[in-house]
Amino acid sequence: MLLVDILNFLNSEINSSNYSEFCRALEYLNHKYYIDAEQVISDYDYDVLFKKIEKFEEEHPEIDSSESPTKLVAKGARSSFETVAHSVPMLSLSNSYNAEDLIDFDDSIKKELGDVDYEYYVEPKFDGSSIALLYENNNLVRAATRGDGTKGEDITANARMVKHILQVGDFKKLGYDTVELRGEVVINKSKFEKMNEAREEQGLVTFQNTRNTASGSLRIKDIAEVKNRNLEAFIYNIGFVKPEMGSGDLEKSQSFNIEQLSKLGFQSAQGLGKTCKTIEEVIAFCNEWEEKRAHYEYDIDGMVVKLNSIQQQLSLGATSHHPKWAIAYKFKAIEKPTKLFNIEYQVGRTGIVTPVAKVEPVSVGGVTVRSVSLHNEDNILSKDIRIGDIVFIERAGDVIPQITRVDINERKNVVDFEYIKTCPSCASELIRRDGEAAWRCVNTTTCPAQNLEKIIYFASKDAMNINGLGKDIIKRFIEEGIIKDIPSIYQLNYEEILKLDGWKEKSIENLRQGIEASKSNEMHRLLIALGIDGVGNTMAKSLAKKVSYLLDFKEYTIDQWVAIDDVGPKMAQSLFDFFHKEENLKLLYKLESLGVNLKGAEINTTGILYGKQIVFTGFRNPELEKKIEALGGEVGNTLSKKTSILIMKEKGSGSSKEKKALDYGVEVMTVEEFEREYSSIS
């Protein structure tokens, strides 16, 4: 999936025909974030996308959203690591943002404790990934991620590769058989920079920030690679101990515990934190760290203020969300002013024109920012951004910088902002459709910018996956007149390419092989590569099951399109239009004549299951699925009104799926019943 596609989702309305594509986009972002430790869009944009899908699901109970990424709430707990329950929940902290909040917190402590002396322990809040380490008889037996606070993932093997996570901690000496420690896995900032330099040299994608990289790295399956990621841990708390608190040494105070942990060899806030007698002292210490955090060797996003006495902590207890004896003090996001000297416009594959602010280079939280996406016209107008303004650029935990506001006091001689009226590439008039935030160039046939993006998309990994034909090469080939449109990929003049700088026999042979191999791709890849609105991987696979020859879609009526899984009326119209447009058919015939595969699996149109969609729930049965397809049936992904038969392991369990199937009038069968009914199957 390309970034521009994700941005399209942010700009477009969700409906029943593109719903599954929205889900796929969110799944893709989750995978990138949690598995590859890569943040593709800002947290803000992620939330926008998430909420769009969630809202749509609430408003459309008829849609089966049981497997929607919005339902997998345990953010961290979705890779294939085993889930483990925390014996004592890992609560989050309530937040404070200024001195007043801290004074309020102090007032509540005073009220709860009554007329007794108390003090605070204040320490930096590391911005990484939380972990719980369980030690039994001095040995590390389990490490888990925070997950949703009650359940996390068992990442013991990976944790053993993390610096300062000790395999053995001498807690027996302190009188404990079992100790659970809580800490944060982080990456040193300068090591992080070096890691990225090395990745750049190797041509790998660079990591975006330390926090995401730490959390992603704890979840990769390759232990040796975990070791390469420069992870280290700071321990900040004791989750629980056995025998119970009060029976050993770790019961006095947070400051004492931090010191003990440090003596055992753990890395902690020892030397970083401070015991404060008054809230004024706490505030001053927080301010001190806020000043120096930009130069500190680890990313920290605030401070943690805890009652120092463990006895007092226990007497205050916790709500279901957060302990009453602690609070996080959050630093302000780093925000830097700079001059916006121009707004440029980028034209995407589907003609969407995205405004981009060009700013005087400014370093924000260690990253030099030169251009910032302005998303769309409404965003520019609502913030009243104009060329020539001094704007504030913010990078919170986010990777993609944002313009947050304009410094109106600095405004001089600026003209009102006006969105461009014509395409920067082909000069045709732009339009803005009802309900969309984006302006588009609708010249789909001859707009050079769209043409370039279309070719890039066609060859990309998710589409035709043509090895050796990346973005930069396509750009150059177009400039040199070697490629002009999609079919010309299959008519390359290799002798001309050999004349270009940097091309040798070997690289040309690799390119030729990549292009040749793409000719025999499965049909659904070509369906994706055509770039029809709403046709991503899942949709393309559903469509490919319908015909044994791609151009059979020419004959499809709207009703036939609507009958396909996940295809709603709007999508049906768009597919119908696509296969009735002269230029699209021409393109397909041309590609076919150049040897590109347009054929899918043979479909048995006389089989007894022809026209029927069968959905499995709770299990898969590849052998049976093959037989179903051999009999002309189609195996669907999700239960819907279009389903003919739902196959379950057990009937009558009263599950929501079964109930829904009956509501839809879908026949429900067990495997045995199904095989008996269609006896020719077994």
Binding residues for Zn ion (CB under 5 A): 423, 425-426, 441, 443, 447
Distances (CA, A) of 297 to 27, 39, 140, 292, 333: 33, 22, 28, 10, 18
Partners of 237 in beta bridges: 182
Closest distance to Zn ion from the beta carbon of 428 (Å):
5
Closest CA to 30 of 97, 65, 77, 84: 77
377 vs 394, which CB is nearer to Zn ion? 377
Annotated active-site residue 475? The verdict is no
Distances (CA, A) of 409 to 21, 276, 406: 44, 40, 9
Distances (CA, A) of 556 to 253, 363, 559, 562: 74, 55, 8, 10
d(CA 477, CA 485): 11
Residue pair 300/289 in contact (Cβ under 8 Å)? The answer is yes
52 vs 440, which CB is nearer to Zn ion? 440
Closest distance to Zn ion from the beta carbon of 442 (Å):
8
d(CA 184, CA 130): 4
Catalytic residue among 125, 454, 545, 642: 125
237 vs 350, which CB is nearer to Zn ion? 350
Quick check: helix, strand or coil at residue 494?
A: helix
Partners of 550 in beta bridges: none
Closest distance to Zn ion from the beta carbon of 365 (Å):
36
165 vs 441, which CB is nearer to Zn ion? 441
Compute the CA torsion angle 588, 592, 593, 594 (nearest 10 deg): 100
d(CA 257, CA 263): 10
Closest distance to Zn ion from the beta carbon of 354 (Å):
13
* Range list of β-strands (E), 188-287: 231-242, 274-276
484 vs 599, which CB is nearer to Zn ion? 484
Helix or strand run (H / E) with residue 604: none
270 vs 346, which CB is nearer to Zn ion? 346
Closest distance to Zn ion from the beta carbon of 489 (Å):
21
The torsion angles phi and psi of 440, rounded to 5 degrees, stand at -130, 150
C-beta neighbour count of 243 within 10 angstroms: 11
425 vs 643, which CB is nearer to Zn ion? 425
Closest distance to Zn ion from the beta carbon of 406 (Å):
29
Cis preceding linkage at 361, omega within 30 = no
Closest distance to Zn ion from the beta carbon of 587 (Å):
19
- Which residues are catalytic, by number? 125
